[in-house]
A and B are shown apart, each in its own frame.
Chain A
Amino acid sequence: AQKVTQAQTEISVVEKEDVTLDCVYETRDTTYYLFWYKQPPSGELVFLIRRNSFDEQNEISGRYSWNFQKSTSSFNFTITASQVVDSAVYFCALSENFGNEKLTFGTGTRLTIIP
């Protein structure tokens, strides 16, 4: 069965600090997909990134970067030079291979950026 663990329930950092959100996953499939979603205070879910299990290259998009490590089953998300607008709940999610249409979400990490 697939499972996603986000051990950090809440994190607060001062603006401009870097922050890393942890995500650990469990799956029996060799092919799977990992996602990060942002849920701002307004409540919608905003897609940030998708990574498949065969691509362990780290990705950078502006101030956001993702570190995928299959050896430790982790897919961590780093925000560099955080801004107040980054304050949100961030969810990591997992989808297994063909025929499985669902995303399994972690419990989320509430990130607060202090001005």
Chain B
Amino acid sequence: EPEVTQTPSHQVTQMGQEVILRCVPISNHLYFYWYRQILGQKVEFLVSFYNNEISEKSEIFDDQFSVERPDGSNFTLKIRSTKLEDSAMYFCASSVGQIINTGELFFGEGSRLTVL
């Protein structure tokens, strides 16, 4: 069964360092997303991406964050200068169409980021 894969599963970094989280969405999907979950809290939307551009982003997704689909298969989230409060599980998701039409987001297993 096709799945969304994320790497790394866990990354530890020093505050101020740049981090890139990678995702390989399901191959025929067109919509891509990043969500995050601070430990023990709810899952929060960061950004959605379609047709090589951001379609929606949340207040959390400030100038420190960027997304890219560099090669047609990977979908990356970059945090330019990490802060302690960026420590969280980051989930990549993809869907074949818009949520309202297709209904299902397929989530990856997450990348846990720990900022020291």
Contact = CB atoms under 8 A, between A and B. Distances in A.
A50 interface: yes
Contact of B45 (A37, A97, A102): A102
A101 B42 contact: no
Contact of A91 (B42, B48, B103): B42
Interface core residue of B41, B43, B108 (most chain A CB under 10 Å): B43
Given A95-B100, A101-B98, A44 B108 contact: yes
Main secondary structure of the interface of B (DSSP, over half): strand
B105 interface: yes
Contacts, number: 63
Nearest to A46: B107
A105 B100 contact: no
Nearest to B91: A45
Contacts of A106: 42
B109 A42 contact: yes
Interface in A26-74: 31, 33, 35, 37, 42-47, 50, 52
Contacts of A102: 33, 45, 48, 56, 58
B89 interface: yes
A43 B45 contact: no
Interface in B32-77: 33, 35, 41-45, 48, 50, 55-56, 58
Interface of A: 31, 33, 35, 37, 42-47, 50, 52, 91, 93, 95, 97-98, 100-108
Interface of B: 31, 33, 35, 41-45, 48, 50, 55-56, 58, 89, 91, 93, 98-100, 103-110
17 contacts: A33-B99, A33-B100, A33-B103, A42-B109, A43-B110, A44-B107, A44-B108, A47-B106, A50-B103, A91-B42, A95-B99, A100-B56, A101-B98, A102-B33, A102-B56, A104-B45, A105-B44
